[in-house]
Structure 1
Amino acid sequence: MPNLSAMTTEDTTLSPGDLPASGIGGWLLLLAVGIVIAPINAGLSLLGIWQKVFASGLFAQLTNPADPDYNPLWRVVFLSEILFHATLMLALLVLAVLFFNHHRSVPKFYFAISLVSALFIAADFLAVRSLVPDALLLTDAMLKTLLGVAISLGVWTPYLFLSERAQLTFVR
């Protein structure tokens, strides 16, 4: 990479390849697509949980002390899932705004969302496993979610912290 500060007035022609990469391009373009889609997916997930748990009457059934499958932990699990997905959707919308405004907090905010998501998934899995020990919990949807969180933490988070493009893009 050329030393731009050492250039003289005779060196007035720079090719685009001489300048460091910045802006939403390259691999950040792929991440941008994911950041646009993520709040939509979180909203659809929230709607799915609402329909499956509340609209179906499952919440009323499993949180009723007269029901044979009653366990007070069900209320905590269901309400925490709704609260988490609603908060996640809002956090992802904030992330999208920060991302497209090139805010310097994007790498840390992205990492925080990814880490909290991973921790919530683990806690939720353990809670449901304790309530229904024989249930098949590693469904295709759960494996897809785990893969997404693994890619988020293992690929995109380091990229946001270490890549030159990300460091030159998220500066405001």
Structure 2
Amino acid sequence: MIVSPLFLAVEYVPMLVDYMNGAYEITANPNSKSFVPHLELLLNVEMLANAFMLLVSLALLYLFFSKHRWFPRVFIFLCVFSPLFLIADAWIVHKLMPDLVAIDEATVLDIIRAIIYALIWVPYMLISKRVKNTF
């Protein structure tokens, strides 16, 4: 719970800095030789989704420590959203840039890790008496 927002921030902030500094402009510019159609939209969606996940994980910390009744619901939402986003993102990148290896070993491991995490924690949040008594 505490480390998750830190990991998200460590991954997201460098991407955001690169994005703000225009690192991706060459591939988003229609006049460029490296132009990829719809890449700018994909990058915008990725930035928004990562910012959303970071904000939700920070909100989750507050809900957890305040023992708020919404904690299990928001936690389950994030557990389900994360692997779905990873799968959708990898698939869209693969469709936009078929020559690029979008679904590499690291991506597959991230997806599997997110699915296993969800398969363990979602049932626990739904079934556990301790969760029901705490939240």
Mapped pair 1:96 → 2:61: yes
| Deviation (angstroms), 1:51 | 4.4
Please give the secondary structure, in 1, of the residue aligned with 2:24: helix
TM-score (norm 2): 0.88
Q: Which runs of 4+ in 1 moved over 6 A?
A: none
Q: Which has the higher contact order (CA 8 A, sep 6+)?
A: 1
Match of 2:6 in 1: 40
Of 141-150 and 38-47, more deviation after overlay is shown by 141-150
| Deviation (angstroms), 1:44 | 1.3
Is the Cα–Cα contact under 8 Å of residues 12 and 50 in structure 2 kept in the other structure? yes
Residues 84/132 of structure 1: CA separation in 2 closer, same or farther (3 Å cut): same
Higher helix fraction (1 or 2): 2
TM-score (norm 1): 0.70
Specify which of 3, 12, 16 is matched with residue 50 of structure 1: 16
Match of 1:81 in 2: 46
Unaligned 5+ residue runs, structure 1? Answer: 1-34
- Bigger Cα Rg: 1
Residues 142/52 of structure 1: CA separation in 2 closer, same or farther (3 Å cut): farther
Equivalent pairs, count:
135
- RMSD of aligned residue pairs (Cα, Å): 1.8
| Deviation (angstroms), 1:162 | 0.6
Identity of aligned residues (%): 26
2-structure distance, mates of 1:119, 1:89: 16
| Deviation (angstroms), 1:158 | 0.8
Unaligned 5+ residue runs, structure 2? Answer: none
Residues 138/71 of structure 1: CA separation in 2 closer, same or farther (3 Å cut): closer
Specify which of 119, 133, 136 is matched with residue 84 of structure 2: 119
Is the Cα–Cα contact under 8 Å of residues 54 and 60 in structure 1 kept in the other structure? no
